[in-house]
Structure 1
Amino acid sequence: MKAFLAIFFALSSFHALAQSNVNPAKSASKRYFGLHFDFHAVVEDSLIGRNLSEKSLDSLLTAVKPDFIQIDCKGHPGVSSYPSKVATATVAPHIVKDPLAFYRAVTRKHGVDLYLHYSGVYDDAVLARHPNWAVQKADGTIDKSKTSVYGPYADSLLIPQLNELANYGADGVWVDGECWATVLDYSPTALAKFRAETGIKTVPRSEKDADYREFMDFARRSFTQYIGHYTDVVHRHRPTFRIASNWAYSSMMPEPIKTNVDFLSGDLTPSNSVNSAALEGRVMAAQGQLYRKPWDLMSWSFWYEFNPVQRQGDQKTAVHLMQEAAEIISLGGGFQAYYQQRRDASIGLRELPVMTKLAEFVRARQPFCEGSTPIPQIAVLYTNSTVNAFNKGLFGNGQTQRISGVLTALLDAQLPVEVLSEQHLQGRLNQYPVIVVSQQDSLNPAFRQELLDYTRQGGHLLLIGVQTTSSFATELGVATTDALAKGPKWVLHKGASVVLTGPFQPVRVGGKNTKALDQFLKSETGDLVKGVIATETSFGKGQITAVYADLSRDYEKHQSTKLRDFISSLTRSLLPKPLVEVTGSHLVHVVLNRQHNRLAVNLINTGGRHADPQVFTYDEVPPLANLTVRLRTATKPKRIVQQPENKVLSIRYEGGIASVTVPELGVHSVLVVE
């Protein structure tokens, strides 16, 4: 395994960057597998606590054996479902029995951690009582749901209640309704602070006004300061109380972590969650690795359609949830599943068989996944600068569409990929043989130069997208010839036609180090026509391959096998000596990890109609047979074991390549190389 040692040593400096951020007491808290329950109490709830049954909860905790559970204490309506003593709290008027005291007593008996679901910025009830705590909109009206991060809310309700939860003996809190619920605030306090901090006197009221971006950046900084304030104050009260702000520092907010949150977490989209987990998990994994923060992601246990006319959904099966869990734990993260809590605060046992199977699946793989870190191969760039430049709101994952389709295509081509922002790559770009820049259309100039320096020194860039390629036109040796063209258009790639919907940027090749790749077709069955879809440019010791069209949405919508092959072919040409290759099926996602100083190759069966909006759930993922896995190693490994099946695989070794055949892949296996 000498070939991997250099990579491991290179990674060690990265792992050590933030060792000082680790609090051993907090890191010891268990958050590998858990269950989340909430019901967002309202004032009409009149049976809270009536049907709490220790026997029932004993049954659940004994069968599932979670590390933790999360239960409701205050949802978006702002009504506390426990008898809060905080003067500013709105408490459900008919609490028969204190749910928090009950759940703390029973979970403690089982050695299970207790976390609380608490809605932060999003609070209807407190604003009904204190409208002056609300966000003020640009037109002067009051937002009836969103509290101001500049007002008394944090010190008058949020912090006192979090301290109260800590006094119950709870292990931590999962603060919901935070970054994704935060909006621009035109309250007098906010505007006074903006003017004082920036020197800008005329406050922009719309995106057409001057300094609107500065106002948004100010609001983002203010939200981060808000998180930092309440986490620090609560930690002073109870240092071991662990706090996460839902979706903070995720794809919605991929900025460097500068607050003392204890862990990172978020809940996936209820539909197409396998691909959602693959993307969101990679963003979280990069943040967790750099800043030494534990992280987990939550699957909704039911498919759900956010349709205001007719909301529909269905409980997911165990195998459906297993696929989602596999995408997350393969990246080294923890996993939790969300089941709805009853209006009386009790937890039903109807889904206990599914919970139990899911728990068994995750636990069987924990020894081979927990503590994993990725081995650099392909990095897909997801920049803070682009997210902030194009997000319509302060925070949100709308800009993931720039990379989501390309990422899925690469994963469907069995390529090991990470999703990294500027802070993850700065100073270590040369660890990655290939960096993919897909529609990152607002690069920081200094980081853009770092990308070029990386290429000049021997790195490989794959640029995808109209605006991205235009911003590198000089280095690519091309000139634009016409205005943007619309699709669809057909491309001849390796003898097959590939349909693309665009948009497209017509270019002319002028540089002596640049050559055109592939050609346009008049129609799917037509003749070749003039035009350049992609180029290959020698740049210093490295190479830049560019595609002059937006591709991500295409694959996200259609998942065309030809488009997958087009994207993967351009990428593979930049990675001539991959550390791992998997053949035999395109239904496999591959994650290449270092785990406990050993190589671990995760294989995830992504069969099943998880991306089909017409399918709520499914109960069968056909196993894949006879997959070939090839590993580039300096010496023949002693053993390669398929886990958790504990099956020793026969190794063929020739020319520095160790090959094994995986006879059957169910949902998720890990090949542990010894």
Structure 2
Amino acid sequence: MKALPVLLIFLSTFQVLAQSSVSPSSSQRYFGLHFDFHAVASDSLIGRNLSERTLDSLLTAVKPDFIQVDCKGHPGVSSYPSKVATATVAPHIVNDPLAFYRSVTRKHGVGLYLHYSGVYDEAALVKHPNWAAQKADGTINALKTSVHGPYVDSLLIPQLNELADNGADGVWVDGECWATVLDYSPTALAKFRTETGIQAVPQTDKEATYGAFKDFARRSFIQYMGHYIDAVHRHRPTFRIASNWAYSSMMPQPIQTNVDFLSGDLTPSNSVNSAALEGRIMAAQGQLYRKPWDLMSWSFWYEFNPVQRQGDQKSAVHLMQEAAEIISLGGGFQAYYQQRRDASLSLRDLSTMAVLSRFVRARQPFCAGSAPVPQIAILYANATVSAFNQSLFGNGQTQRISGVLTALLDAQLPVDVLAEQHLRGRMSQYPVIVVSQQDSLDPAFRRELLDYARQGGHLLLIGAQTTRSLATELGLEAINQQASNPKWVILNGASVILTGPFQSVRIVGAATKPIGQFLNSEPGDPAPGIIATETTFGQGKLTAVYADLSRDYTKHQSAKLRDFIASLTRPLLPKPVVEVSGSHLVHVVLNRQGSQLAVNLINTGGRHADPQVFTYDEVPPLTNLTVRLRTDKKPARIIQQPENKSLPIRYANGIATVIVPELAVHSVLVVE
């Protein structure tokens, strides 16, 4: 996330295995609340208004597994009386917030986690400018520390050890991967030359070795992170550490450090769709590496770009939709509420917090610890992210898949989002793999994708450059340059406008046939050109669309574009495990929880994707949804949870059909 000067937020929660009891305890990390205020040197009332009665009321009403409070934010000022010699402590601490929050949370059996800013530390660099990352021109970065410098051993590790010694259960380290920058300090450059053998350090992205320099910087951050995590674990093995956004969409690579859990915070606006995307990436990492994970919702609307704008506090139903997208994927959930500048908490939003808690708790037995049933996979390749990200770590490349994912979810299709490490050796589990604008693929992984298709798998290839790079396999010839002017296309009798870019192609292979047509205008006649093709490839199939589609759907969420994308996908999945009809406002998540099949249905109504709408307080229920399940035998029961409603089953030809009379926000159909 980009930093907010005073008002910033970030949190943590943990996934836990399903339990018969959902009463909170300090060892359970499923639902929590985050508070922070990023202390600055001018804060003069820290600790003055801490109220045990207020905190008792909050913990009693909400019953979180944990709370997370301010400790040290991006300004680098500690909001507790740190004894570490190199720390910058707020000069006017009336009472110790850390001691207060630990005492009261322990009484309630609630965990205490702390928000601590790592790489991003302004105060440390005022005192120790030699700790800073350096720019290419030799000047220092006044906000970001060097991952090669003394900061980690002189301040970060000692303070984390101090927090552990003072009884905190863990820390959520903010300002980490997303804050790390290219470092031209002498120490960094010496290591780069030694490690790579490259002596001339590149200054710009025009130089051939610039990619190698960025890769070195990424590896350096991972080594830095692994170093401090291992050091703190040696000091206090039970102290739990997460680095904000590590191994997420910003950093979708294999997990190589001993992080205790994964966590990140959603975009404050359009958070329902953000949760659907980020949750799937986190879930895949958590499943493969057996790491608990969570995502956090901002409790208020906020927009960083093009300018910072804050809107209203979100309603309970708005936050419930965001929570549903996350917990349906097996993750934990938490919400961020602003902490006062004296480190105390407000009860103004207590009723919303309590409603949100009851919503999550009611679904915990049916969601926690679940695993996805493979159906459709969208590739989110770390090779593409690394190749095209301007920053070292960031989620700018999610736009290549986010619109396609949302379109497929809006078409009621169950979808996972997987990186290379999740798909290698297990592609055959997925009937369909979607490759949307993944324009830089590792050659070995590319060969495995094509072998998957030869052996009977189905690839849906989307994007001008992606399809151009596979022209030989697709049985066609790329012609001319890419075009970007909007064009009308027609498929199955329905027209839709696409904005491109487009790749012009000519079919040269006998196994390739065109799908759909261009139009010279919406009411006009067909125009020359090929928009999509289908190619028999070994025992499988390559379906290709010669246009970028993702950004179109992200911007407009056109029903026609949704249907266009879905009509190309559904034929590749002729025997889906689950089919849902009756509304396009339903997102479907298909899980196994233990031995049982669990179908999550999420009502995504409401203007959550509209940048002009801060929040809304009503999501109309959906009625009479038809759910069809392919099962080996007739299920004994299908129960709608947490409503505990047994649904009548019709069973014929291996398909169990039920009608869901009403879907409020989120229900789970548990198949027994």
Between the aligned partners of 1:307 and 1:411, the Cα distance in structure 2 is 26
Shift of 1:42: 0.3
Between the aligned partners of 1:496 and 1:602, the Cα distance in structure 2 is 30
Q: Which residue of 344, 351, 365 corresponds with 2:363?
A: 365
Shift of 1:308: 8.1
| TM-score, reference length from structure 1 | 0.95
Q: Give the secondary structure class of the aligned counterpart of 1:616.
A: coil
Match of 1:77 in 2: 75
Q: Which residue of 421, 438, 463 corresponds with 2:461?
A: 463
Contact kept, 8 Å, 2:31 with 2:332, in 1: the verdict is yes
Shift of 1:28: 9.1
Q: Give the secondary structure class of the aligned counterpart of 2:588.
A: strand
- Give the letter aligned to residue 565 of structure 1: D
Between the aligned partners of 2:163 and 2:333, the Cα distance in structure 1 is 23
- Give the letter aligned to residue 241 of structure 1: F
Match of 1:630 in 2: 628
Question: What pairs with 1:547-566 in structure 2 (closer than 5 Å)?
Answer: 547-566=545-564
Match of 1:212 in 2: 210
| TM-score, reference length from structure 2 | 0.96
Between the aligned partners of 1:318 and 1:243, the Cα distance in structure 2 is 29
Question: What pairs with 1:98-177 in structure 2 (closer than 5 Å)?
Answer: 98-177=96-175
Q: Give the secondary structure class of the aligned counterpart of 1:662.
A: strand
Match of 1:591 in 2: 589
Match of 2:5 in 1: none
Residue 299 (str. 1) matches residue 297 (str. 2): yes
Shift of 1:486: 1.7
Q: CA offsets, 1:394-420, max 9 Å, x none?
A: 000000000000000000000000000
Q: CA offsets, 1:633-655, max 9 Å, x none?
A: 11100000000000000000011
Match of 1:573 in 2: 571
- Give the letter aligned to residue 470 of structure 2: F
Q: CA offsets, 1:301-340, max 9 Å, x none?
A: 0001236866332100000000000000000000000000
Q: Which residue of 247, 265, 270 corresponds with 2:245?
A: 247
Between the aligned partners of 1:306 and 1:579, the Cα distance in structure 2 is 40
- Give the letter aligned to residue 62 of structure 1: T
- Give the letter aligned to residue 93 of structure 1: P
Contact kept, 8 Å, 2:26 with 2:66, in 1: the verdict is no
User: Which 4+ residue blocks in structure 1 deviate beyond 3 angstroms?
Assistant: 307-311
Q: Give the secondary structure class of the aligned counterpart of 1:38.
A: coil
User: Per the alignment, do residues 258 and 28 of structure 1 end up closer, same or farther by CA in structure 2, a change over 3 Å counting?
Assistant: farther
Q: Which residue of 382, 385, 389 corresponds with 1:384?
A: 382
Between the aligned partners of 2:539 and 2:215, the Cα distance in structure 1 is 38
Q: CA offsets, 1:34-70, max 9 Å, x none?
A: 0000000000000000000001000000000000100
Q: Give the secondary structure class of the aligned counterpart of 1:312.
A: strand
Match of 1:655 in 2: 653
Q: CA offsets, 1:489-536, max 9 Å, x none?
A: 001111111100001001011101000000000001110111100000
Match of 2:192 in 1: 194
Between the aligned partners of 1:486 and 1:217, the Cα distance in structure 2 is 32
Contact kept, 8 Å, 2:26 with 2:111, in 1: the verdict is no
- Give the letter aligned to residue 233 of structure 1: A
Match of 2:445 in 1: 447
User: Per the alignment, do residues 308 and 410 of structure 1 end up closer, same or farther by CA in structure 2, a change over 3 Å counting?
Assistant: closer
Q: Which residue of 83, 86, 99 corresponds with 2:84?
A: 86
Shift of 1:234: 0.1
Between the aligned partners of 2:308 and 2:56, the Cα distance in structure 1 is 36
Shift of 1:487: 2.2
Match of 1:48 in 2: 46
Match of 2:479 in 1: 481
5+ long unaligned stretches in structure 1: 1-26
Q: CA offsets, 1:594-614, max 9 Å, x none?
A: 002100000000000000000
- Give the letter aligned to residue 615 of structure 1: V
Residue 30 (str. 1) matches residue 28 (str. 2): yes
Contact kept, 8 Å, 2:302 with 2:308, in 1: the verdict is no
5+ long unaligned stretches in structure 2: 1-24
Between the aligned partners of 1:635 and 1:308, the Cα distance in structure 2 is 55
Match of 1:503 in 2: 501
Between the aligned partners of 2:441 and 2:198, the Cα distance in structure 1 is 25
The alignment of Structure 1 onto Structure 2 pairs a total of residues equal to 648
Match of 1:7 in 2: none
Between the aligned partners of 2:318 and 2:343, the Cα distance in structure 1 is 27
Q: Give the secondary structure class of the aligned counterpart of 1:604.
A: strand
Between the aligned partners of 1:216 and 1:152, the Cα distance in structure 2 is 21
Between the aligned partners of 2:208 and 2:291, the Cα distance in structure 1 is 38
Question: What pairs with 1:168-567 in structure 2 (closer than 5 Å)?
Answer: 168-306=166-304, 311-567=309-565
Match of 1:21 in 2: none
Q: Which 10-residue stretch deviates more, 620-629 or 492-501?
A: 492-501
Q: CA RMSD in A?
A: 0.9
Shift of 1:201: 0.3
- Give the letter aligned to residue 295 of structure 2: L
Between the aligned partners of 1:127 and 1:485, the Cα distance in structure 2 is 48
Between the aligned partners of 1:369 and 1:634, the Cα distance in structure 2 is 23
- Give the letter aligned to residue 592 of structure 1: L
Q: CA offsets, 1:68-108, max 9 Å, x none?
A: 10000000000000000000000000000000000000000
Q: Give the secondary structure class of the aligned counterpart of 1:261.
A: coil
Q: CA offsets, 1:614-635, max 9 Å, x none?
A: 0000000000000000000111
Q: CA offsets, 1:255-310, max 9 Å, x none?
A: 00010000000000100000000000000000000000000000000001236866
- Give the letter aligned to residue 592 of structure 2: R
Q: CA offsets, 1:530-558, max 9 Å, x none?
A: 11000000000000000000000000000
Q: Give the secondary structure class of the aligned counterpart of 2:283.
A: helix
**Percent identity of equivalent pairs:** 81
Q: CA offsets, 1:542-601, max 9 Å, x none?
A: 000000000000000000001000101100010000000000000000000000210000
User: Per the alignment, do residues 331 and 310 of structure 1 end up closer, same or farther by CA in structure 2, a change over 3 Å counting?
Assistant: closer
Q: Give the secondary structure class of the aligned counterpart of 2:337.
A: strand
User: Per the alignment, do residues 470 and 146 of structure 1 end up closer, same or farther by CA in structure 2, a change over 3 Å counting?
Assistant: same
Q: Give the secondary structure class of the aligned counterpart of 1:446.
A: helix
Between the aligned partners of 1:203 and 1:308, the Cα distance in structure 2 is 33
Contact kept, 8 Å, 2:26 with 2:109, in 1: the verdict is no
Between the aligned partners of 1:280 and 1:525, the Cα distance in structure 2 is 39
Between the aligned partners of 1:349 and 1:195, the Cα distance in structure 2 is 55
- Give the letter aligned to residue 336 of structure 1: Q
Between the aligned partners of 1:311 and 1:520, the Cα distance in structure 2 is 41
Q: Give the secondary structure class of the aligned counterpart of 1:423.
A: helix
Between the aligned partners of 2:26 and 2:335, the Cα distance in structure 1 is 21
Match of 1:640 in 2: 638
Question: What pairs with 1:50-65 in structure 2 (closer than 5 Å)?
Answer: 50-65=48-63
